Structure 1
Amino acid sequence: MTQNDQIFSILIPTWNNLAYLQLCLRSIEKNSTYKHQILIYVNDGSDGTVDWLKTQNYEYMHSKENVGVCWALNALRAKVKTDYILYMNDDMYVCPEWDSVLWDEIQRLPDNNFFLSGTLIQPRPFFCKSVIAPANFGENIETFREDDLLKNYRSLPHYDWFGATWPPNVVHKDIWDLVGGYSIEFSPGMYSDPDFSAKLWMAGVRLFKGLSDSRIYHFESVSTGRVKKNNGSRQFLQKWGITSASFMRNILKRGEPFKETTTGQTHALALKKDITRSRLKKMLSCFKKSGQAKMLWE
């Protein structure tokens, strides 16, 4: 690897979120240990995003409509030049060494059958223990305390954890291609993250690991809070025959402290019970859906 080699291809979908995108890109340029290929997909861009990118050196694609996360990520795949695809949201700020921690872990692994995530720092309380929260360094651009974050992000207690799903995450391009990228039926993108992890699991990937020392501040759903959401929970259940919550809890064990000796093991008894409940829930969901369709035709 030479000094000019790019390590990751960073895919960033954005939707009329210019100020946050600019902060995200600045943090990558400022706080990364290595050089990376940065690929941006602009949904709409009428807020000035497209005009701004025309004056920059970043590679980007543009749709006049909001096609959502899944279409955007899959479209950017065509421009990937490195071996590793890293998906990041535009409302994230990467802390120093975020990339070197991921890269060092990849270098230690025997093969490419992995899915790794960085660890998010979020300002408000959060339901999953994989996230460092609450750790409030600002809930928006106007209140963001960058200097305080950079002084304190390393001292926030945490641990490596099971269950990589949401961004920032990294996967080898061959594994991405094997499962066909992100599933467009989940557009604009709700529950596309656990669906991608489920596809990886079905393809034989068993290492789903979040790295505590790769830290990224997240302003939390600045874009997704504005979009009309798909019913991803129901879609996941219909597709996989199990609820997303059960998949996360009993298969990926998301948020639990990582232990090398139990990698790939599931909570078998709890999973068996949840599969039974999921089947009932799926039947009720189908019944409800068919009832709604009947009402439309009457």
Structure 2
Amino acid sequence: MTEKNDNNRQLFSILIPTWNNLEFLKVCVDSIRKNSTYSHQIIIHVNDGSDGTRQWVAEQGLDYTATDGNVGVCLAMNMMRSKVKTDYILFINDDMYALPGWDAALYDEIKRQPDNRFFLSATTIQPHTPNKAVINADYGDTIQTFREADLLREYMSYEAPDWLGSTLPPNIVHRDIWDLVGGYSVELSPGMYSDPDFTAKLWLCGIRRMKGVSASRVYHFETKSTTRIRKNMGQMQFLLKWGMTNGTFRRLFTHNGSPYSETLAAAMPTKAKLRGELIRCRMKALYWLMTKDFGPAWKAWEKF
């Protein structure tokens, strides 16, 4: 169903970091190719690639970057930025399946924006993790149990409004906005809490139109790489960097998962409410600093 863009121009640059997850990557790329309305540039970052990923990506003629080891999401995303050829940078996980019309719905929303100061997300369908901003429905969490035909028949039958607080992939920004905030924060490598950190940087730069688009839908098999890595202490890093927890930021500033409202999107928390939350966050930061083992936070430096 791919539609040729004007002058055969690619519309989005789709960034996909992957780490020895070839069977899911193949499904992801195939879904983009067969279920997209427009033509897009697909860019892969191959972490390690000892499962044959690098060879497969090259055979497919896809743009890619690569590292011999797993550098995680943040550095991978910033490396892929050097390959971007379009105006729009879209991040999607390698364990996601793009559903028909996913890109047309995002582009329709982009065309309604008055300028490029937006941050949009597709709406995710996933089998396990509950979240106000996702649709919980189980169509399998492995390639072998994936019920693709049922999903394609039923994916638009779930009612969900457009929602506030775009954070999770698939998400899309204009490349000028990406560059304004400096991409992803490598201090959060391999990537836990890098999504809300990116959102916080956008908010700090004045981006308020953070919208989840209900008509754009993808299926997420969930955490097929994150269960294999040594995680950074992202929750604590976010708190120490921004002076508040991720939960406080998403609840008070991005109103995550609430039905979309222009008024609410622009609303600031009251000083009294913010003061109370920040006092609680400072107490939590102090508790963590006094009680947590910082050993895992230094593991990234051992190779040096």
Considering the TM-score relative to the shorter chain, is it more than 0.5? yes
How far apart are 1:48 and its partner, in Å? 1.1
Amino acid at match of 1:273: G
Mapped partners of 1:42, 1:98: distance in 2? 25
> Which residue does the alignment assign to 1:113?
117
> Which residue does the alignment assign to 2:52?
48
Q: 1:232 and 2:229 equivalent?
A: no
1:69 paired residue among 68, 73, 89:
73
2:89 paired residue among 75, 85, 107:
85
- Kindly tell me the number of residue pairs found equivalent between the two proteins: 290
> Which residue does the alignment assign to 1:204?
206
How far apart are 1:150 and its partner, in Å? 0.4
Contact kept? 2:255, 2:265, Cα under 8 Å: no
Mapped partners of 1:82, 1:205: distance in 2? 21
1:99 paired residue among 60, 81, 103:
103
Mapped partners of 1:158, 1:39: distance in 2? 30
> Which residue does the alignment assign to 1:190?
192
C-alpha distance after superposition, 1:67-95 (max 9, x if no partner):
00000000000110101100010000000
Using the size of structure 2 for normalisation, the TM-score is 0.92
How far apart are 1:225 and its partner, in Å? 1.1
Q: What are the ranges of 5 or more consecutive residues in structure 1 without an aligned counterpart?
A: 293-298
How far apart are 1:212 and its partner, in Å? 0.6
> Which residue does the alignment assign to 1:10?
14
Mapped partners of 1:283, 1:159: distance in 2? 39
How far apart are 1:3 and its partner, in Å? 5.2
Query: Percent sequence identity over matched residues?
Result: 56
Amino acid at match of 1:89: N
Secondary structure of 2:94 counterpart: coil
1:286 paired residue among 284, 289, 297:
289
Mapped partners of 1:69, 1:20: distance in 2? 16
How far apart are 1:290 and its partner, in Å? 9.5
Q: 1:271 and 2:274 equivalent?
A: yes
Secondary structure of 1:74 counterpart: helix
List structure 1 runs of 4+ shifted beyond 4 angstroms: 289-292
Q: What are the ranges of 5 or more consecutive residues in structure 2 without an aligned counterpart?
A: 296-304
C-alpha distance after superposition, 1:216-257 (max 9, x if no partner):
000001111111100000000000000011111111111111
> Which residue does the alignment assign to 1:296?
none
C-alpha distance after superposition, 1:10-46 (max 9, x if no partner):
0000000000000000000000000001000000110
Using the size of structure 1 for normalisation, the TM-score is 0.94
Mapped partners of 1:263, 1:186: distance in 2? 27
> Which residue does the alignment assign to 1:295?
none
Secondary structure of 2:12 counterpart: strand
Q: 1:131 and 2:134 equivalent?
A: yes
Mapped partners of 2:168, 2:245: distance in 1? 17
Contact kept? 1:251, 1:271, Cα under 8 Å: no
